[in-house]
């Protein structure tokens, strides 16, 4: 993918005027007669998605006009780069200036293509941004979301725990962070039994990947991401349709890596800690079984009711580890339950939170940056659904109803109430194509959380 942007400079560009149905009349009245005639002939009314080249007297293109519905939407022009002929463009129109940053981010996301295994038709339209715009921020936002998409889209065979680990190691190198990992049998000696147990049947060894970055004196934010590189379901094997997209089961890890990259590249003044429990939930003679009991890192014993509820197992050891250093904020991302998708659909990030102000910040931030979220309840009354006859808890409730809540309640066992904790249960995948959002891996909750962190911690 070519850089979707040109930052300032003298390069000639074609203006794209963004017009909405409501601003159309004002825009139209300012045109000369020939232009008015041209628009009328081409039935251009400013309807959303209408695109028209306005010819110059010399036969070239004087400008493009594009119908948009709502300039406040991050994806308002995300379809444009793929529709415009090769060239350099600038944006203009009523209200555009104040929304340039989010429009540019949408443009950048609209340029995303996953071309690792297939040649794609090149997108050759580039957006020239004025010197006054916040180039690093626009670039980093697009890069972070594209990074998450790439990681998720990459097939499991090429995105196993060792590959995730290499990505984190490289990020640490780029931003002068400290990278560490615990691999395979060492997970047992270092007391991460549930990460080990979920991953032990795979020829790709499980790991706990760690990255630390930033000044020790800054507020500590810990990010934890579910890194199940492929979820076959284990011995409770998934049916074919359910297994088909399970390369995306490291989607939580992908969000955490994208968000960490964003935080580090924009130098947010926090102390960042990233923990990624990475494993393949595979089937072999040494797979863990229903009925087995794991003594987790925290000491809590878990009876395996279902080997397909593996995400919460790798997460519980990582959350215990995270809480040992008492972070100021703890956030995890996971493609944890199908039930969350039934509750809010695939295009909204469900979240759970043990802290009211934080939950409210997430909700408003998600709205502001078009990264929709919805809170689900940590309803204490459902805790009894996780009772086991032989251990402290089961890993999967006795009923599928409220499945996202019971999974979150399981995780809450490993997080003390005095640590503000946010848990995302996400799809990390677009089932359908929308402007700037192709089918496949998707960044979900990255922009919303960055907005929260920036509001809380950025130097003003
Ligand atoms: N990775 C899945 C959850 C998932 C499936 C997320 C589809 C997004 C889309 C997870 O490991 C899983 O299999 N969960 C089970 C839990 C059940 C066994 C309690 C589920 O949701 O069915
Ligand atoms: Zn599963
Ligand atoms: Zn899973």
Domain range spanning residue 196?
Answer: 140-458
Q: Which of 90, 111, 132 is the last residue of a domain?
A: 111
Query: How many domains does the structure of the chain reveal?
Result: 2
Q: Which of 290, 314, 337 for mutating ligand 1's site (highest number of atoms within 8 Å of CB)? A: 337
Indicate which atom in ligand 1 lies nearest the CA of residue 238.
13
Give dist(CA 375, CA 360) in Å, integer.
9
Pocket flag, ligand 1, residue 338 (CB < 6 Å):
yes
Distance 312 CA to ligand 2 centre (A): 9
- In the prediction, which pLDDT does 225 show? 99
Model confidence at 73, pLDDT cuts 50, 70, 90, reads very high
Q: Whose CA is nearest to atom 3 of ligand 1?
A: 337
Distance 209 CA to ligand 1 centre (A): 23
Q: Does 58 have pLDDT greater than 90?
A: no
Distance 432 CA to ligand 3 centre (A): 21
131 located within any domain: no
Give dist(CA 331, CA 354) in Å, integer.
11
Q: Which of 61, 94, 111 is the last residue of a domain?
A: 111
DSSP-derived 3-state class of residue 275: strand
Residue 271 known to be catalytic: no
Give dist(CA 194, CA 91) in Å, integer.
52
Q: Which of 248, 305, 309 for mutating ligand 1's site (highest number of atoms within 8 Å of CB)? A: 309
Residues 353 and 230 in one domain: yes
Residues 184-232: tens digit of each pLDDT? 999 999 999 999 999 999 999 999 999 999 999 999 999 999 999 999 9
214 located within any domain: yes
- In the prediction, which pLDDT does 459 show? 80
| DSSP codes of every residue in 370-430 | T--EEE----GGGGGGG--SSSSEESS-SSSTTHHHHHHHHHHTTS-TTS-EEEEE---EE
Token pair recorded at residue 16: 């794209």
| DSSP codes of every residue in 425-445 | E---EESS-BTTB-SEE---S
- In the prediction, which pLDDT does 391 show? 98
Residues 227 and 339 in one domain: yes
Residues 261 and 408 in one domain: yes
62 located within any domain: yes
Residues 47 and 149 in one domain: no
Residues 153-169: tens digit of each pLDDT? 999 999 999 999 999 99
Residues 107 and 231 in one domain: no
57 located within any domain: yes
Residues 245 and 98 in one domain: no
Indicate which atom in ligand 1 lies nearest the CA of residue 233.
13
> b vs e for 138-161, b when ≥16 Cβ sit within 10 Å of the residue's Cβ?
bbbbbebbbbbbbbbbbebeebbb
Residues 159 and 105 in one domain: no
Residues 83 and 229 in one domain: no
Residues 21 and 166 in one domain: no
If we measure between CA atoms, which residue out of 170, 448, 459 comes closest to residue 331? 448
Q: Does 271 have pLDDT greater than 90?
A: yes
Indicate which atom in ligand 1 lies nearest the CA of residue 428.
8
Give dist(CA 406, CA 424) in Å, integer.
14
Region 262-289: mean pLDDT is 98
Pocket flag, ligand 1, residue 337 (CB < 6 Å):
yes
Beta bridge partners of 19: 67
Residues 365-417: tens digit of each pLDDT? 999 999 999 999 999 999 999 999 999 999 999 999 999 999 999 999 999 99
Residue 326 known to be catalytic: no
Pocket flag, ligand 1, residue 309 (CB < 6 Å):
yes
Considering the candidates 238, 295, 383, 456, report the single residue annotated as catalytic. Answer: 238
| DSSP state, residue 386 | G
Residues 102 and 146 in one domain: no
Q: Does 14 have pLDDT greater than 80?
A: yes
Residues 59 and 184 in one domain: no
Mean pLDDT of the chain, nearest integer: 97
User: The CATH number of the domain where 196 resides is what?
Assistant: 3.40.630.10
Token pair recorded at residue 119: 């040649």
Q: Whose CA is nearest to atom 9 of ligand 1?
A: 338
Least confident of 58-72, 140-154, 208-222, 266-280: 58-72
Q: Whose CA is nearest to atom 17 of ligand 1?
A: 309
Q: Which of 254, 288, 307, 308 for mutating ligand 1's site (highest number of atoms within 8 Å of CB)? A: 308
Beta bridge partners of 183: 207
Distance 338 CA to ligand 1 centre (A): 5
Model confidence at 460, pLDDT cuts 50, 70, 90, reads low
- In the prediction, which pLDDT does 57 show? 84
Distance 295 CA to ligand 3 centre (A): 20
Q: Does 2 have pLDDT greater than 80?
A: no
- In the prediction, which pLDDT does 8 show? 84
Pocket flag, ligand 1, residue 335 (CB < 6 Å):
yes
Q: Which of 94, 111, 128 is the last residue of a domain?
A: 111
346 located within any domain: yes
Decide: 256 and 213 in contact? Cβ < 8 Å. Answer: no
Pocket flag, ligand 1, residue 339 (CB < 6 Å):
yes
440 located within any domain: yes
Model confidence at 421, pLDDT cuts 50, 70, 90, reads very high
Q: Does 308 have pLDDT greater than 70?
A: yes
Give dist(CA 186, CA 206) in Å, integer.
10
Indicate which atom in ligand 1 lies nearest the CA of residue 281.
11
Give dist(CA 182, CA 186) in Å, integer.
6
Token pair recorded at residue 286: 């040494």
- In the prediction, which pLDDT does 44 show? 96
Give dist(CA 390, CA 304) in Å, integer.
10
223 located within any domain: yes
User: The CATH number of the domain where 61 resides is what?
Assistant: 3.40.220.10
Residues 83 and 220 in one domain: no
84 located within any domain: yes
Region 116-142: mean pLDDT is 95
| DSSP state, residue 121 | P
Give dist(CA 77, CA 108) in Å, integer.
10
Q: Which residues surround ligand 2, an ion (CB under 5 A)?
A: 231, 308, 310
Beta bridge partners of 181: 209
Indicate which atom in ligand 1 lies nearest the CA of residue 249.
1
Least confident of 53-62, 84-93, 118-127, 226-235: 53-62
């Amino acid at each position: 993918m070519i850089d979707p942007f040109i930052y300032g400079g003298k390069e000639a560009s074609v203006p794209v005027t963004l017009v909405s149905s409501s601003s159309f009349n004002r825009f139209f009245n300012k045109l000369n007669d020939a232009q008015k005639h041209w628009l009328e002939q081409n039935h251009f009314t400013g309807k959303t998605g209408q695109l028209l080249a306005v010819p110059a007297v010399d036969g070239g293109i004087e400008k493009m006009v594009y119908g948009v519905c709502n300039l406040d939407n991050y994806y308002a022009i995300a379809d444009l780069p793929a529709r415009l002929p090769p060239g350099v463009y600038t944006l203009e129109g009523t209200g555009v200036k104040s929304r340039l940053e989010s429009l540019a981010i949408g443009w950048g996301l609209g340029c995303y293509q996953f071309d690792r295994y297939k040649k794609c038709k090149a997108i050759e339209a580039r957006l020239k941004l004025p010197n006054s715009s916040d180039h690093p921020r626009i670039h980093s936002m697009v890069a972070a979301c594209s990074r998450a998409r790439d990681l998720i889209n990459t097939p499991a065979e090429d995105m196993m725990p060792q590959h995730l680990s290499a990505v984190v190691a490289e990020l640490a190198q780029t931003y002068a962070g400290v990278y560490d990992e615990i691999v395979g049998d060492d997970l047992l000696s270092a007391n991460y039994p549930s990460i080990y147990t979920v991953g032990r049947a795979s020829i790709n060894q499980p790991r706990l990947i760690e990255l630390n970055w930033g000044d020790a004196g800054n507020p500590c934010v810990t990010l934890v991401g579910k890194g199940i590189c492929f979820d076959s379901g284990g011995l409770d094997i998934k049916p074919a349709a359910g297994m088909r997209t399970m390369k995306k089961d490291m989607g939580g890890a992908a969000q955490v890596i994208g968000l960490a990259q964003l935080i580090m590249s924009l130098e947010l003044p926090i102390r960042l800690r990233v923990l990624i429990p990475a494993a393949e939930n595979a089937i072999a003679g040494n797979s863990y079984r229903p009925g087995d009991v794991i003594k987790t890192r925290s000491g809590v014993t878990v009876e395996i009711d279902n080997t397909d509820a593996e995400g919460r197992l790798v997460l519980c050891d990582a959350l215990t580890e995270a809480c040992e250093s008492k972070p100021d904020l703890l956030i995890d991302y996971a493609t944890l339950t199908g039930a969350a998708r039934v509750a809010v659909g695939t295009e909204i990030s469900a979240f759970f939170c043990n802290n009211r102000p934080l939950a409210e910040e997430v909700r408003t931030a998600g709205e502001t940056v078009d990264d929709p979220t919805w809170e689900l309840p940590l309803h204490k009354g459902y805790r009894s659904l996780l009772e086991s006859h032989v251990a402290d808890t089961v890993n999967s409730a006795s009923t599928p109803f409220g499945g996202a809540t019971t999974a979150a309640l399981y995780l809450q066992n490993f997080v003390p109430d005095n640590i503000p904790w946010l848990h995302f249960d996400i799809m990390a995948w677009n089932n359908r194509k929308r402007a700037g959002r192709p089918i496949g891996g998707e960044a979900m909750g990255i922009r919303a959380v960055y907005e929260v962190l920036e509001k809380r911690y950025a130097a003003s």
